[in-house]
Amino acid sequence: VNAEVITVGTELLLGQILDTNSLYLSRKLAEIGVNLYYKTSVGDNTGRLKAALEIAAGRADIIVITGGLGPTVDDITRDGIAEYTGRKLLPDNETMLKLEHFFKARRIKMSENNRVQAYIPEGATVIENRAGTAPGFIIEQKGKVIAAMPGVPSEMRPMMENAVIPFLLQKYGIGKNVIRSRSLKVVGLPESLVDEKIHDLFVVSENPSIGVYAHQTEIEVRLTAKAENTESADAMIEGLKQKVYGRIGDAVYGEEEETLEGKIAEILLAGKMTVSTAESCTAGLLSFRLTNIAGSSAYFMGGINAYSNEVKKSMLGVPEHIIEKYGAVSAECAEAMAKMSREKFKTDCAVSVTGIAGPGGGTDEKPVGLVYMGIDIKGSVKTSRHLFTGSRDMVRARAGHTALFNFYKLLKN
C-alpha 302/C-alpha 316 separation (Å) is 12
Phi/psi class of residue 157: alpha, beta or left (left: φ > 0; alpha: ψ in -120 to 50)?
A: alpha
Contact segment (CB under 8 A) with a second copy among 41-49, 84-92, 136-144, 256-264 equals 41-49
Contact segment (CB under 8 A) with a second copy among 227-235, 249-257, 263-271, 297-305 equals 297-305
Size of the site for a second copy (CB under 8 A): 112
Per-residue buried b or exposed e for 239-256, using 16+ beta carbons within 10 Å of the residue's own CB = ebbeebeebbeebbbbee
* Cα atoms in the Cβ-side hemisphere of radius 13 Å centred on 262: 7
Q: Give the x-and-dash track for 59-98 against a second copy (CB under 8 A).
A: x----------xxxxx------------------------
- The CB-of-147 to a second copy minimum distance in angstroms stands at 17
Alpha-carbon 164 to chain mean position: 25
- The CB-of-269 to a second copy minimum distance in angstroms stands at 14
Pairing of strands 62-66, 2-8: parallel
Measured from the CB atom, the residue of 100 and 140 that comes closer to a second copy is 100
- The CB-of-246 to a second copy minimum distance in angstroms stands at 19
Q: Give the x-and-dash track for 127-156 against a second copy (CB under 8 A).
A: ----xx-------------------x-x--
Distances (CA, A) of 257 to 79, 184, 328: 43, 10, 36
- Told to check if 307 binds a second copy by CB under 8 A, we report yes
Measured from the CB atom, the residue of 162 and 292 that comes closer to a second copy is 292
- Told to check if 272 binds a second copy by CB under 8 A, we report no
- Told to check if 364 binds a second copy by CB under 8 A, we report no
- The CB-of-52 to a second copy minimum distance in angstroms stands at 7
- Told to check if 176 binds a second copy by CB under 8 A, we report no
Q: Amino acid letter at 269? A: L
Nearest to 225 by CA among 201, 248, 208, 247: 208
C-alpha 62/C-alpha 368 separation (Å) is 52
Query: What is the number of other CB atoms lying within 10 angstroms of the CB of residue 97?
Result: 11
Residues 188-227 that bind a second copy (CB under 8 A): 190-193, 195-196, 199, 202, 204-205, 211-214, 216, 222, 224
